[in-house]
Amino acid sequence: MFYRESGDFKTSYSADQQTFPIRLDRHVVYGILAFAFLVVPFLINDYWEKSVLLPFLVWAMAALGLNILTGFCGQVSLGTGGFMAVGAYACYKLMVAFPWLNMFIVVILAGLITAMVGVVFGLPSLRIKGFYLAVATLASQFFLVWLFNKVPWFYNYSASGMISAPERTLFGIPVTGAEAPPWMTYLFCLTLVTIFAFIAHNLVRGRIGRSWMAIRDMDIAAEIIGVPPLKAKLSAFAVSSFYIGMSGAMLFALYLGSAEPNDSFGIAKSFLVLFMIIIGGLGSILGSFLGAAFLTLMPVLLKNIMVGWFGWPADLAAHLELLLIGALIMFFLIVEPHGLAQLWRVTKERLRLWPFPH
């Protein structure tokens, strides 16, 4: 009923292969995008920007990146925090060294630098798998954080080891720094996330994505049918790190404005992103967004309900929030072990048949 495909005929190959082949899907996505680009910027204030929308966008980007590596290529990584740190520090060094450089280019260059680092740390994946690879990437997490603490060049020899984003403008409007209007930073992140989510969506449907999934499902079989593991695994590490690097750069430059390696990019962040893709759904682009939304927005929501509406003490609410988030994670994983994206997929199937399920 709601998902009617009857009458949705495709008459050309390009129509058949478009990003969203179902008409209703397409219209909903375009509708959401139009709302996000054209309506939200007029409604946004500092609170919505800094507590809700930017964290969501930044973590969605990181979850996209890790989902490419773990969800699509099957390589477990615990180095996300470290790679985000690479993106953030690359972004900082580029901003300071080339003040005239366009911020979009800075963020993308930071992503590319992270991609290179990611490839280097991805090399062990050619020999080891599963838990052992997780441990190897864990080493990269600790090494990278240690590096950014140890070498003062990365933080321009500042007394506290913090990096702070200087003000940079885009079309004459500040996009980083405290003076940046909320809609500007929001639109900046939204543009990047939208573009790269589309790219990711198309990457995983194409030849590269299929080779990743072949490696994920059975690497020996994939090798026998002619998928080169070296190329597939390293390209997954590169693309994944590229996304994660960009999210690190956005976290530092647009969302927080300053950062230090232990606090902002510690091991806790690696786990956070991993939980996001597990809850959202491994191997799903939509799942990355749902998982990021769940883990960034749910705490804010619960806190506002408990402290703002019920007037409970802040510390009690904080403890309850931990309990509730944990309980919700367990609930969703029991109800649907394949994550929120699968839940949506099932709902979609039902909607298709409703109200005549037989």
Binds other proteins (CB under 8 A): choice among 20, 30, 35, 47: 47
- The answer to whether the beta carbons of residues 163 and 156 sit under 8 Å apart is yes
The site string for other proteins over 74-113 (x = CB under 8 A, - otherwise) reads ----------------------------------------
Q: Which stretch binds other proteins (CB under 8 A): 106-114, 153-161, 191-199, 214-222?
A: 153-161
Which two structure tokens, joined as six digits, stand for 13? 């190959």
Q: Which stretch binds other proteins (CB under 8 A): 201-209, 238-246, 260-268, 275-283?
A: 260-268
With H, G, I as helix, E, B as strand and everything else as coil, classify residue 129.
coil
Residue 170 engages other proteins in binding (rule: CB under 8 A):
no
| Pairing status of strand 258-259 against strand 163-164 | antiparallel
Q: What is the CA radius of gyration of the chain?
A: 21
Binds other proteins (CB under 8 A): choice among 140, 247, 264, 270: 264
What is residue 228's DSSP assignment? Answer: -
Residue 30 engages other proteins in binding (rule: CB under 8 A):
no
Binds other proteins (CB under 8 A): choice among 16, 179, 217, 349: 179
Q: Which is nearer to other proteins, 13 or 309 (CB)?
A: 309
- The answer to whether the beta carbons of residues 79 and 140 sit under 8 Å apart is yes
- The answer to whether the beta carbons of residues 68 and 240 sit under 8 Å apart is yes
Q: Which of 163, 161, 165 is nearest to 150 (CA)?
A: 161
Residue 149 engages other proteins in binding (rule: CB under 8 A):
yes
Binds other proteins (CB under 8 A): choice among 108, 297, 324, 328: 297
Kindly provide the residue ranges of all beta strands, DSSP E only, lying in 104-206, ordered along the sequence: 163-164, 169-170, 173-174
Least Cβ distance, residue 190 to other proteins (angstroms)? 17
| Pairing status of strand 169-170 against strand 173-174 | antiparallel
Q: Which is nearer to other proteins, 38 or 224 (CB)?
A: 38
Burial class (CB in 10 A: 0-12, 13-18, 19+), 130: exposed
With CB under 8 A as the rule, give the number of residues binding other proteins.
45
Helix (H) / strand (E) containing 258: strand 258-259
What is residue 358's DSSP assignment? Answer: -
Binds other proteins (CB under 8 A): choice among 258, 328, 332, 336: 258
Q: Which stretch binds other proteins (CB under 8 A): 120-128, 155-163, 189-197, 201-209?
A: 155-163
Residue 21 engages other proteins in binding (rule: CB under 8 A):
no
Binds other proteins (CB under 8 A): choice among 166, 206, 228, 326: 166
The site string for other proteins over 312-341 (x = CB under 8 A, - otherwise) reads -xxx-xxx--x-------------------
- State the Cα–Cα distance between residues 278 and 146, nearest whole angstrom: 27
Least Cβ distance, residue 18 to other proteins (angstroms)? 26
Q: Which is nearer to other proteins, 159 or 224 (CB)?
A: 159
DSSP 307-324: IIIS---HHHHHHHHHHH
Binds other proteins (CB under 8 A): choice among 97, 160, 207, 226: 160
Helix (H) / strand (E) containing 259: strand 258-259
Binds other proteins (CB under 8 A): choice among 257, 281, 291, 339: 257
- The answer to whether the beta carbons of residues 37 and 190 sit under 8 Å apart is yes
Burial class (CB in 10 A: 0-12, 13-18, 19+), 275: middle
Which two structure tokens, joined as six digits, stand for 140? 């990269």
Binds other proteins (CB under 8 A): choice among 41, 124, 177, 229: 177
Least Cβ distance, residue 231 to other proteins (angstroms)? 37
What does residue 259 show for φ and ψ, rounded to 5 degrees? -160, 155
Least Cβ distance, residue 59 to other proteins (angstroms)? 10
What residues make contact with other proteins under the rule CB under 8 A? 2, 46-52, 55, 149, 159-162, 164, 166-167, 177-179, 256-260, 262-264, 266, 297, 300-301, 303-305, 307-309, 313-315, 317-319, 322
